[in-house]
Amino acid sequence: MTPMPSTATQSTRARTPAWRTRVQAASRIGAALFGGYFLAHGATAFLTLVLPMGKVDRVVFASLLSFAVWCAAAIHAFGARSAWRAWGWPVLVGAALLGLALAFPEQAARP
């Protein structure tokens, strides 16, 4: 037999305000849209530097791959345990990739 949850647990869940649920959903949507875009931008800038192709091919390949990165970030935003984690990873990883890309601008100028 499975134990029944206590009434304290049930009443705590029932007391979650509707506005809080809406704010969390809106935050996850924002993380999927804006945090995912930032991560895709950072990944595109970084991949443009490190891919071993011609300049035009690097840019096109990195730009096409950025759509997959954005989709992965959106899936993460809705699968994360909290809204803070939904924002945290895409923004941190995007900032790291973009920082690396901005640290070596001479690599982007190579043919």
Q: Whose structure tokens read 């935050």? A: 27
Residue 19 lies in a domain: no
Nearest to 94 by CA among 69, 58, 76: 69
In a domain, 3, yes or no: no
State which H helix or E strand residue 64 sits in. Answer: helix 55-79
H or E stretch at 84: helix 83-103
- Residue 91 resides in a domain: yes
In a domain, 11, yes or no: no
Assigned domain for 51 exists: yes
Q: Does a structural domain hold residue 58?
A: yes
Q: 46-98, pLDDT tens digit by residue?
A: 999 999 989 899 999 999 999 999 999 999 999 999 989 999 999 999 999 99
Residue 32's pLDDT is what?
A: 94
Q: pLDDT (tens digit, 9 = 90+) per residue, 29-39?
A: 999 999 999 99
Number of H helices, E strands in the chain: 5, 0
Q: Is residue 1 part of a domain?
A: no
Average pLDDT over residues 4-31: 76
Is the pLDDT at 100 greater than 90? The verdict is: yes
pTM score, whole prediction: 0.79
The range of the structural domain enclosing residue 88 comes to 34-107
- The count of residues in the chain is 111
Q: Has residue 29 been placed in a domain?
A: no
The number of domains in the chain is 1
pLDDT at residue 4, as a whole number: 61
